[in-house]
Amino acid sequence: MITTTHHRRGHGNDGQDNGGALRAHPERRKRRRGRDTGPPPVEWPTELAEADTIGLIYDELDGLNFYNDYGMLRELFADPALAADKRYSDVLRGYLESDSIGPLPIRRLAVAHPETADAVFRKVLRKPSPDSVNRW
């Protein structure tokens, strides 16, 4: 496991321009310098802070993205029977209806679970529409 801390460009603890780099093993820096250089507190947007799980997906084109309740979405694609639970179906509907969420998380789950993706969409959307699946 790598522990990282973010230093803003030009504001590193050593006074040198560090290019906004993430430093691995800040605990080593702390021992050497003798001062607290722990990671700054993270203030999550309310939507993410209230989520049971947060998915982090890095894509070469889309960059790093954070997805609220992504764990529930993964469970749904692994077990389409969970679509009967309104909480699970609401998470997928929320992703599909959101203007701020692109196709990346749904596409990744559909590729990871090709044997269940169609069943998930049919159960949640309550119609056997290949157009809904093909959008992703």
16 and 69 both lie in a single domain: no
**How much is the pLDDT for 19?**
37
107 and 56 both lie in a single domain: yes
Q: How would residue 99 be classed by pLDDT, with cut points 50, 70 and 90? A: very high
**How much is the pLDDT for 109?**
96
pLDDT at residue 17 greater than cutoff 90: no
pLDDT digits (tens, 9 = 90+) for 61-74: 989 999 999 999 99
- pTM of the full structure: 0.63
Three-state helix/strand/coil letters over 79-128: CHHHHHCHHHHHHHHHHHHCCCCCCHHHHHHHHHCCCCHHHHHHHHHCCC
Residue 38 covered by a domain: no
Residue 53 covered by a domain: yes
Residue 64 domain boundaries: 46-134
Mean pLDDT of the region 94-118? 94
113 Cβ contact partners less than 8 Å away, ≥ 6 residues apart: 77, 78, 120
25 and 51 both lie in a single domain: no
59 and 111 both lie in a single domain: yes
